[in-house]
Amino acid sequence: MMSDRLTLDDVRFFGQHGVTAAERTVGAWFSVDVELRLDLASAAVSDDLKTTVDYGAVARRIVEIGTGQRVNLIERLAGLIVEALLREFPAREVCVRVRKLTPPLDGLVGTPGVELRRMRS
């Protein structure tokens, strides 16, 4: 079992995802954490970016998805992100956590979020 992980925490973007009119109109800030499981042994020795995953490219892809097409559910948003990262980067497993930091919902206390973990088939 591979234990190497590349992590990227708190990638933020503003989006208008949600079911309610307020969520679609006002929008909210979102935060995404990702964990990519892959072999980092070569990068640890070579100090060469070509032997690892460029976390800047991962962050840009997350923001691109998050600010692109509007979705109703953060589960769907997380699904779009996890599938894109698995498809576009050489990770064997990807975990994505999405949190809606500023939901415009009356009476909500706390930060809603979801976590999806998917493996390459």
Looking at the annotation, which residues are catalytic?
Answer: 100
Residue 100: CA atoms inside 13 Å, Cβ hemisphere, count? 26
Six-digit token pair at 93?
């497993």
Q: What's the CA gap between 111 and 119, in Å, rounded?
A: 27
DSSP string over 27-59: -EEEEEEEEEE---HHHHHH--GGGS--HHHHH
Helix (H, G, I), strand (E, B) or coil at 65: helix
